[in-house]
Amino acid sequence: MKVAVDPDPSLVYRPDMEPEAAKDKGSFRNYTSGPLLDRVFTTYKLMHTWQTVDFVRRKHAQFGSFSYKRMTVMEAVDMLDALVDESDPDVDFPNSFHAFQTAEGIRKAHPDKDWFHLAGLLHDLGKVLALAGEPQWAVVGDTFPVGCRPQSSVLFWDSTFQDNPDLQDPLYSTELGMYQPHCGLENVLMSWGHDEYMYQMMKFNKFSLPPEAFYIIRFHSFYPWHTGGDYQQLCDEQDLAMLPWVQEFNKFDLYTKSSDLPDVDKLRPYYQGLIDKYCPGVLHW
């Protein structure tokens, strides 16, 4: 049975939104119109064609040794100055600003949870893969489980999966696919992208953040689950316990996007302190 999930987390709290600005909530995640729609649709069409069980397993093997680069967290943030996310219909500016916008939104709402602030800064750093030569359809965008039939809240699900070879497989094309009921999302093979890469990177480098931060990083782009309410047949008790944290994070990931860009130089010292506390030094990426 599908569990009802509030489709608009901002109904509880929308950070830094004045009443007049709040009227514009429908302008976020608009996948039906807008100047960036063609670019966005093309990215998802490629993603939904080529993200297969075999492809995801190959990417885990390719990047699982974390031998791509050695750098600090802040150096990775700076790399995102060169990246504009081709799957995002809301913004057309470098992803580094979005990292600070998200972190600052969380900091204002949850001043006592410094690990949560840092999660905001970290959440998209896996997108450095796009600067390592990976196509954006294998890095950005909403995630979904591979190895089972896509559910209806996956973006463009009815117009982009026709050429995915897994859907011709008699097992992978079923609702449960290769999974057991309520096996837990930790046992599900998600489409490859910045979420899974960054989660695995954090584990490899032994970040000292709490489990909630790891979970947020791993599943923050899994909109069909945390916002669409789908894939409940795969969830276990841990997933249901962690869901409110992912939904709380989503408010800031989504609704802090603005062309009013933060003064990054003023914010660096605070976030460098958090990096020194939870994930210091030169890391393996």
Q: How far apart are CA 34 and CA 100, in angstroms?
A: 25
First-to-last alpha carbon distance for the chain, in angstroms, is 40
Instruction: Find out whether 10 is annotated in a ligand binding site.
Output: no
Instruction: Find out whether 48 is annotated in a ligand binding site.
Output: no
Spell 159-191 as b/e; 16+ CB within 10 A means b. Answer: ebbeebebeeeeebbeeebbbeeeeebeebbbb
Instruction: Find out whether 221 is annotated in a ligand binding site.
Output: yes
Instruction: Find out whether 114 is annotated in a ligand binding site.
Output: no
Q: How far apart are CA 78 and CA 39, in angstroms?
A: 24
Instruction: Find out whether 87 is annotated in a ligand binding site.
Output: yes
Instruction: Find out whether 90 is annotated in a ligand binding site.
Output: no
Q: How far apart are CA 282 and CA 285, in angstroms?
A: 9
Q: What is the DSSP letter of 87?
A: T
Instruction: Find out whether 8 is annotated in a ligand binding site.
Output: no
- The three-point CA angle 66-59-237 to 5° equals 90
Instruction: Find out whether 86 is annotated in a ligand binding site.
Output: yes
Instruction: Find out whether 54 is annotated in a ligand binding site.
Output: no
Instruction: Find out whether 117 is annotated in a ligand binding site.
Output: no
Q: Taking a C-beta distance cutoff of 8 angstroms, is the pair 156, 141 a contact?
A: no
Instruction: Find out whether 16 is annotated in a ligand binding site.
Output: no
Q: How far apart are CA 246 and CA 239, in angstroms?
A: 10
Residue 265 burial class via C-beta count within 10 angstroms: exposed 0-12, middle 13-18, buried 19 and up: exposed
Instruction: Find out whether 78 is annotated in a ligand binding site.
Output: no
**Nearest by Cα to 242 from 257, 230, 228, 225:** 225
Specify binding-site residues: 29, 85-87, 98, 123-124, 127, 141-142, 194, 220-221, 253
Q: Residues forming the annotated binding site for substrate? A: 29, 85-87, 127, 141-142, 220-221
* Residue numbering of the annotated binding site for Fe cation: 98, 123-124, 194, 220, 253
